[in-house]
Amino acid sequence: MSVARPKLVGQSIVRKEDGPLLRGQGRFAADVNFPNQLHMRVVRSTYAHGNIVSVDLAPALAIPGVHAAWAFADVADIPPIDFRLTKLEQLAAYRQTILAKDRVRYVGDPVAVVFADDPYLAEDAAEHVVVEIEELPVILHADGETGEFRDGLSTEPAIIRKGYGDVDAAFANAHATVSLSLSIGRHSGVPMETRGAVGRYIADTDMLEMYGAAKVPHWNRDQIAKMLGRPPASVNLFEGHVGGGFGVRGELYPEDVLVCLAAMRLGRPVKWIEDRREHFIATNHSRQQTHHIRAAIDRDGCILAIDDEFFHDQGGYMRTHAATVPDLAAAMLPGPYRVPVYRAVGHIRLTNKTPGGTYRAPGRYESTFVRERLLDAIAAETGVDGVEIRRRNLIDKSEMPVTRALETLGTDIVLDSGDYVRLLDKALDGVSWTALQAQLKQRRQAGELVGAGVAMFVEKSGLGPFDDVRITINTKGLVEVVTGAASVGQGVETVIAQICADTLGVGYDSINVIHGQTDRIGRGLGAFASRVTVMTGEATRLAAAKLRDKVLATAAGLMQLPADSLDIVNGEIVRSDSSAGPSMGLAEIATALAPGAKFLGEREPSLFAEASFESRHMTYPYGAHVAVVRLARDTGAIDIERYLVAYDVGKAVNPMLVEGQIVGGVAQGIGGALYEEFTYDDRGEPLSVTFADYLMPTAREVPHVDVIISEDAPSPLNPMGLKGAGEGGTNAVGAAIAAAIDDALGQPGAITQLPVSPQMIKAILKNNL
Amino acid sequence: MTDKTDITLNINGRDHAISVESRRTLADAIREECGQTGTHIGCEHGVCGACTVLVNGEPVRSCLMFAQQAAGKPIRTVEGLANGDEMHPMQRAFMENHGLQCGFCTPGFLMLAVGVLEKEPDITDEDLVDVLSSNLCRCTGYQNIIKAVRAAAIEMRQS
């Protein structure tokens, strides 16, 4: 068989997704409607902590057009929402029920639901539900005293411990020790589309459906089935367009289960669309951690050991991610450096805030900030330049692959490939580092507060253990790729079509990619952890190669030519030596194999192929960020003058999309570094409940971002060498900006927490006077 | 609050005779009563701009306007940008410059940019960024949105 020449993989072609989205023909959750549907409104706790004394639904039920209202007693038979990843037995008692039982644990905790004919009416009715709560003292700091979750359970349900080597001995023998206390603020994904779910029960077939699914439709299907006591095959989830995911959207939340339960019980479709205030207090928060880290170093500034203790602010309950975020923080903290001895101790703490989950580069945005602050502190301690300190500690290409004695997400950490030093050089060259340093020096001498910072990191991607793809060619010659992946807006259809087109030898436009539909494929893992291009991409390549063989074998029979003399070019089966002669279209091959066709004989009917790609290890992309900032002496304002990301993704299927991922990721990283924070008053009342309080970067705050897409280190774990591109733009932003601000202030270690506000800068400047 | 008033919304040149409560927002009326779901609702408090439509040629946040306030006035939404199969230069520029990812904020950005460029075709680059900073996008980091709008501005000036 001749190998199809790569044509589309590696090219920045325009997306398959764009047409409908640009024409206003998208189908987002709120766009889904069914005749006779009811609208659900959630009544949420206005107290951060308290005992529920009573819930009176009667005033709401008395309103015409209100059809039902429930409190916990009405859903007491439904088990709490289970863990999807990083389960720990001792966390089970901390799971969230779909309505609060007898205690509320954060402002926003669902206490009751009402169902009405109209969403405005449902909102009115919700305000008539009378909830009496006896207020309890709140815990708002993860690193303070522990308290009682309930029934004698501590607010510290588990401690994550990871590491290797003799830490005490390493510190005892060190030339010097560097210690820091650092914290990362509470912020989150905040997609532009709030969450939404529409449940529908079809009685005559006993099928339950949910629309508005995202991220992990198959897992959620199985869980909803389990929680409602139904066979999984009697539940289907449908993903439409998804207005951004970033880790938070698509996890299983109480509202998803409630609309399904209500659709069954009330016999009408039930629609719920989250409003923005609800989103800020109900959808997963993330990031908030405080670290106490120290490094043992030798006289050259080489790391002998790292010892980190941190406190993870989980909020009110353990949600679907269980221990995932602190686990990743602990496992990924060593980053791209040689760390001979390591210990991380992560305290998971329940507080009276919105529960947490993953957000783009979960655990890594945090631990990269901490580690890179540590590297900068080592540089300051030893008097060696920060770039040079990094060079001395970076793992060398010759050492690859590197097995860390650490595991996360059920996989051993094996850094599969990388040339970290080379990437650092690319990043520095990208900003003409030496010349930049000279310019900044000159400007500082002229009185400006300007500085530059560098941060490096290792990401992870391509989480298995499997993905399935089925490719079918119909009798019109059109190709359909069905995957168990999901799309949160990142361009899945485009990338999968590019890989399919090249491998199969068909036109990009003739391919239709189906994702996120549980009725179309038996299993699927969805879209998270930068996994889709790697896992689904390779499964697509495998299935397309199989299908290609099948096409050529069938064509050989029909054309009376040996299969190895044939090729598929743009959907036509032709002689591979390019000699003139007969050709056939894919439609003809599919027709020949159609059920009942004369040619079929003993052959399997229909022109399709299926393949699974299995992988027990993740792939590890890596990157460097460079930030240049200017501080305003009078206001403390922080202006990012330049930003560069160099990211090695092994192989970029569509560089335009990779760049889009990186730049978008940087913008979110900037939000967490400078602007975004969920704050609370002393009673646990959330203070960031509108876009006027929770400040997301706009076109004015996000600088031009230079992107270097590097392909030095293809992954050995899949034939195309793919590594995921979704999270590297976000990962090191806090770290790089902190370093740049330090440099601008001329004060190493000045920045110890994120987000950095102008007030903080002003305070530092004032103290310096 | 259930007293309804009969009004006519003219969306993309077509009249929609609807009956709405006085508190009904224009965004909800466009989406639910008139079935034009291309206009998206992102915050309902006038900050994100996802619901931006043109009323009398001016970009407005349709979540902050009552449907009754827009009665009888020409309203343009994303559904009216393309001329049949042929996309508006702004739509094409967003596609060519990868100015969208999830696409949720996109209709608002398209209407904002078209509305401003129709009135101020020679707007400076700096002012353009200022205008675009009134809407939020969470996917793109704005770089490609700015690029797309600049590219479309050139094309719109030429045509």
CB contact under 8 A, B136 and A698: yes
Domain residue extents for chain B: 4-77, 89-158
> Is the distance from CB of A404 to CB of A397 less than 8 angstroms?
no
Q: What's the rounded Cα separation, in Å, for the pair A743 and A627?
A: 11
Q: Is the four-CA dihedral A578, A580, A581, A587 of positive or negative sign? A: positive
Among B2, B104, B142, beta carbon nearest to A702: B142
* A367, A372, A373, A379: CA torsion to nearest 10: 150
Q: What's the rounded Cα separation, in Å, for the pair A211 and A29?
A: 7
pLDDT tens-digit map of A413-455: 999 999 999 999 999 999 999 999 999 999 999 999 999 999 9
Peptide bond into B74 cis (omega under 30): no
Q: What's the rounded Cα separation, in Å, for the pair A710 and B86?
A: 37
* DSSP-based three-state secondary structure for B55: strand
CB contact under 8 A, A24 and B107: yes
CB contact under 8 A, B103 and A491: no
CB contact under 8 A, A192 and B1: no
- The set of long-range contacts for A199-204, using a CB threshold of 8 Å and a minimum separation of 24, is A199/A259, A199/A260, A199/A261, A199/A262, A199/A263, A199/A264, A199/A269, A199/A270, A200/A34, A200/A263, A200/A269, A200/A270, A201/A260, A201/A263, A201/A264, A201/A267, A201/A269, A203/A267
B20 contacts in chain A (CB < 8 Å): none
User: Which residues are A473's β-sheet partners?
Assistant: A479, A607
Write the Ramachandran bin of A476: left for phi over 0, alpha for psi from -120 to 50, otherwise beta: alpha
Q: What are phi and psi of A763, to 5 degrees?
A: -65, -40
Tokens of A695: 């400040």
pLDDT band per the 50, 70, 90 thresholds, residue A1: very low
pLDDT for A2 beyond 50: no
CA proximity to A619, closest of A415, A468, A327: A415
Q: What's the rounded Cα separation, in Å, for the pair A574 and A566?
A: 6
pLDDT band per the 50, 70, 90 thresholds, residue A647: very high
Which spans in A137-191 are helix H? 167-172
A17 contacts in chain B (CB < 8 Å): 103
Amino acid symbol at A87 = K
Q: What are phi and psi of A235, to 5 degrees?
A: -130, 130
pLDDT for A93 beyond 50: yes
For A203, counting Cβ atoms within 10 Å of its Cβ (0-12 exposed, 13-18 middle, 19+ buried), the class is exposed
Amino acid symbol at B19 = S
Closest Cα in chain B, distance from residue A317 (Å): 26
pTM of the model: 0.97
A190 touches chain B (CB under 8 A): yes
B87 contacts in chain A (CB < 8 Å): 22-23
Tokens of A383: 């008097």
pLDDT tens-digit map of A109-168: 999 999 999 999 999 999 999 999 999 999 999 999 999 999 999 999 999 999 999 999
pLDDT band per the 50, 70, 90 thresholds, residue A6: low
> Is the distance from CB of A65 to CB of A309 less than 8 angstroms?
no
Tokens of B112: 């904002």
For A90, counting Cβ atoms within 10 Å of its Cβ (0-12 exposed, 13-18 middle, 19+ buried), the class is middle
* DSSP-based three-state secondary structure for A134: strand
**CA closest to B49 among chain A residues:** A192
Q: What's the rounded Cα separation, in Å, for the pair A191 and A248?
A: 8
pLDDT (0 to 100) of residue B132: 98
> Is the distance from CB of A212 to CB of A195 less than 8 angstroms?
yes
A22 touches chain B (CB under 8 A): yes
Beta strands B4-11 and A705-710, pairing class: unpaired
Which spans in A505-531 are helix H? none
N-to-C CA span, chain A:
75
pLDDT (0 to 100) of residue A4: 45
Domain annotation for chain A: domains and CATH numbers: 18-24+463-614 (3.30.365.10), 45-137 (3.90.1170.50), 289-393+404-462+617-768 (3.30.365.10)
pLDDT for A576 beyond 90: no
| Alpha carbon of residue B67 to chain centroid | 15
Among A27, A124, A275, beta carbon nearest to B44: A275
> Is the distance from CB of A450 to CB of A657 less than 8 angstroms?
no
CA proximity to A613, closest of A719, A530, A478, A455: A719
Closest Cα in chain B, distance from residue A591 (Å): 31
A705 touches chain B (CB under 8 A): yes
Q: Give contacts of A 602-621 with B, CB under 8 A.
A: none
A690 touches chain B (CB under 8 A): yes
CA proximity to A261, closest of A127, A95, A91, A81: A81
pLDDT band per the 50, 70, 90 thresholds, residue A577: confident
CB contact under 8 A, B144 and A190: no
pLDDT tens-digit map of A294-324: 999 999 999 999 999 999 999 999 999 999 9
**CA closest to A654 among chain B residues:** B98
CB contact under 8 A, A691 and B48: yes
**CA closest to A65 among chain B residues:** B2
What is the residue-level pLDDT of chain B in tens, covering all 159 positions? 568 999 999 999 999 999 999 999 999 999 999 999 999 999 999 999 999 999 999 999 999 999 999 999 999 999 999 999 999 999 999 999 999 999 999 999 999 999 999 999 999 999 999 999 999 999 999 999 999 999 999 999 998
Q: Which CATH architecture has domain B89-158?
A: Orthogonal Bundle (1.10)
CB contact under 8 A, A26 and B145: no
Closest Cα in chain A, distance from residue B142 (Å): 6
CB contact under 8 A, B138 and A660: no
CA proximity to A58, closest of A50, A49, A68: A68
Q: What's the rounded Cα separation, in Å, for the pair A612 and A278?
A: 39
To the nearest whole number, what is the mean pLDDT of chain A? Answer: 97
pLDDT (0 to 100) of residue A7: 87
CB contact under 8 A, A24 and B36: yes
pLDDT (0 to 100) of residue B2: 64
Write the Ramachandran bin of A314: left for phi over 0, alpha for psi from -120 to 50, otherwise beta: alpha
> Is the distance from CB of A428 to CB of A454 less than 8 angstroms?
yes
In a mutational test of the A interface, the residue from B30, B125, B139 whose CB has the highest number of chain A CBs within 10 Å is: B139
pLDDT tens-digit map of A539-575: 999 999 999 999 999 999 999 999 999 999 999 999 9
Closest Cα in chain B, distance from residue A320 (Å): 23
pLDDT (0 to 100) of residue A5: 57
For the beta carbon of residue A247, count every other beta carbon within 10 angstroms: 26
Q: Which CATH architecture has domain B4-77?
A: Roll (3.10)
B123 contacts in chain A (CB < 8 Å): none
Closest Cα in chain A, distance from residue B139 (Å): 5
> Is the distance from CB of A23 to CB of B82 less than 8 angstroms?
yes
ipTM: 0.98
Q: What's the rounded Cα separation, in Å, for the pair A701 and A609?
A: 48
Closest Cα in chain B, distance from residue A630 (Å): 19
Over residues A504-515, the mean pLDDT reads 97
pLDDT tens-digit map of A364-383: 999 999 999 999 999 999 99
Over residues A229-245, the mean pLDDT reads 97
pLDDT (0 to 100) of residue A768: 80
Among A14, A18, A28, beta carbon nearest to B40: A28
Q: What's the rounded Cα separation, in Å, for the pair A354 and A283?
A: 8
Closest Cα in chain B, distance from residue A579 (Å): 37
